[in-house]
Chain A
Amino acid sequence: GENVEQHPSTLSVQEGDSAVIKCTYSDSASNYFPWYKQELGKGPQLIIDIRSNVGEKKDQRIAVTLNKTAKHFSLHITETQPEDSAVYFCAASIRNTGNQFYFGTGTSLTVIP
């Protein structure tokens, strides 16, 4: 199966700075890479996703980049705000295996006001 590694496990940034979270995957057949934000007591919330035929995708302050050759993808959050504080998970799904997602171990992001 797929193995997804995520770094760092914790990240603290000053409000207004950027945050970057990186993930690597092992199976070259993976073709879908979502990112989820999980706040305390809640389920994961999809914040952005990217498919393997795209190298970069942006949505306001959030962007994701994908390097298929190196098998890594990254989440970039610019102009961070205190409400961005949460645990972020990356995931990967292998082509034609349905909706089985392999998750990274999570990054706890703290934005310091």
Chain B
Amino acid sequence: KAGVTQTPRYLIKTRGQQVTLSCSPISGHRSVSWYQQTPGQGLQFLFEYFSETQRNKGNFPGRFSGRQFSNSRSEMNVSTLELGDSALYLCASSLIAGKTDTQYFGPGTRLTVL
């Protein structure tokens, strides 16, 4: 069974631009979560989607948004990019939502903001 895939793997943007990252969960998994990983803050939860609905949201500004499609694929968007948004963005999928479930991570998208 294929793992979690994320595209693109690398992105370079400039301040003020916006970016969209994509995540395809493991086949059959219906919950997708997004995390930001930086050397200073570590791994921080952004949001979780299940059945096209946002179930949980972390402490990030409204510039960070996401959505999930009927096939469980998910996208996250960051608008008005800032230098501090440079990070590895990780997507994780799990079979169900509503109760804590094992999460499997993708390889991440490395975003660099210049």
Contact = CB atoms under 8 A, between A and B. Distances in A.
Contact of B103 (A99, A102, A104): A99
Contacts, number: 69
Contact of B101 (A43, A89, A99): A99
B106 A100 contact: no
Interface residues of B, number: 28
Contacts of A96: 99
Main secondary structure of the interface of B (DSSP, over half): strand
B56 A97 contact: yes
Interface stretch (B12-20, B65-73, B74-82, B89-97): B89-97
B102 A43 contact: no
Contacts of B8: none
B58 A103 contact: no
B105 A43 contact: yes
Interface of B: 4, 31, 33, 35, 42-45, 48, 50, 55-56, 58, 90, 92, 94, 97-108
